[in-house]
Amino acid sequence: MHPVASRRRSPSWFSAVSCKAILGEFYSMTTTLRFGTDSEVLLDLPPERLVASCGQPDCEPVDDLSAAVAAGLISPLDFPPLTQCVLPDDRVAIVLDPELPAWEDLLAGAISGLLEARVAAENLTIVVGGEVEHDSLAARVREVTDDTITVVRHNSEERSELAFLGTTTEGKGVYLNRTIVDAEFVLPIGCLRLDSMAGYHGVHGVLYPTFADEETRQRFRAPSNEEWAAHRRRRREETEQAARLLGVLLTIQVVPGGSGEVLQVLVGAPEAVARKGREICEAVWHQEVPRRAELVVAAIEGDSSCQTWSNVTRALAAANGAVTDDGAIAICTELASPPGPALRRLVEARDYEATLLALQKDRSTDAAAATLLLHLLSVRQVYFVSQLDEETVEDLGMAPVRSVAELTRLITRSESCLLIANAQHAIATPAGEMAAPSHVARQ
């Protein structure tokens, strides 16, 4: 048994009871849970055992994203039309959220709107992330844009490519990508989430810390930012202060749907977009469920761009917020990316407290994922469906699920089950409990 996982409790409900014997006595509900690009599990569960099935929006995705962006730039929320805000010779920086769904159509709409406002194409610069995992994004941006439009990759460690904006109220220097700072007009395109989602810093998070200096980015990656509500508030305030120093006037934000779709495009003043976006995300992605379940199955639907450790972190947090104290979690993905340096610490873990201390000092991009997983493995069983080899999953302390048939057996043998589709976006709050971030343990 994994040294850290040995602390967890054995699920009392998991037994060899025949699925057929159980289902033969009750009326069953047919439910489909999808994950990855085309994987799914078809379930027949008695109503009294299926606590809830959530995370499946009943609204249709936006058909023409490019047109929606262009229309939003003509009539933004609480802001004049774009044509009244930019001049033909203005240098414009379009900033892309690295986790933006359907970014090609959204980018096309933004470029179209700027050209319609008579901004010269040679004055447009698209700024993208600089991490290795953003290589394909940067390459695709160059492929789909005109040669006259510049594409810049952020380098958080090269001081000459950063510019100083000022200091925060806590005295921290604000350094941002120089292309963004030097632009006369900045147009961020970001992805909205529930405020409690791991790694989400509001509408301005697309700018800061994403395109800040490495010291800032590491500070935001500290696991304590997810563990302590006060730390999250400070990071959010720092992000908003950076945006004010930059003078961000207009933003494009999308409400994500399942499988990489977009449910709504919001364009306007940041405060108005944040307010409207918060209302929509709460209505679409936050659901109250009758009670906690002994097994919570959280699925991540979408292509490889959705199958990330960041989304696994969100799915783990969502599941943990709705499972009973002695229950178990199953995460369904098509994840193929190997564990990062922080997660690899779990492979070598021999002592919980020592590993936790090491992770709290870790500033790797997967530090939050590793810290949350370490905690969960100490109190419960975590099952994992992925494209990783079984040995890797077991080394991390999780139980690999080898097939849909095995997953189906796991679910049908549980005494109570709760399904969360699109768990990278959704949160299920048990009735009577506060709708608090499930990954924030301390206030």
DSSP state of 93: E
The tokens for 275 are 């307010």
Domain 65-256: CATH superfamily, name plus number:
LarA, N-terminal domain (3.40.50.11440)
**Helix axis angle, 309-320 to 367-379, nearest 10°:** 40
Whole-angstrom distance, CA of residue 23 vs CA of residue 26: 6
332 pLDDT above the threshold of 90: yes
Is the CB of residue 281 less than 8 Å from the CB of residue 192? yes
Domain chopping of the chain, boundaries: 5-56+287-430, 65-256
Per-residue pLDDT, averaged over 423-435, amounts to 92
Does 5-56+287-430 match 65-256 in CATH topology?
A: no
Chain segment 247-292, per-residue pLDDT in tens: 999 999 999 998 889 999 999 999 999 999 999 999 999 999 999 9
Mean pLDDT over all residues of the chain? 90
Chain segment 309-330, per-residue pLDDT in tens: 999 999 999 999 999 999 999 9
Whole-angstrom distance, CA of residue 226 vs CA of residue 98: 20
Three-class SS state of 386: coil
23 pLDDT above the threshold of 70: no
Per-residue pLDDT, averaged over 429-434, amounts to 91
Whole-angstrom distance, CA of residue 168 vs CA of residue 242: 7
Chain segment 344-392, per-residue pLDDT in tens: 999 988 899 999 999 999 999 999 999 999 999 999 999 999 999 999 9
Chain segment 58-107, per-residue pLDDT in tens: 899 999 999 999 999 999 999 999 999 999 999 999 999 999 999 999 99
| pLDDT score of 436 | 54
| pLDDT score of 200 | 94
Contacts of 401 (CB under 8 A, 6+ apart): 330, 332, 383, 384, 385, 407, 410
The CATH-assigned architecture of domain 5-56+287-430 is Alpha-Beta Complex (3.90)
Write down the pTM of the prediction.
0.89
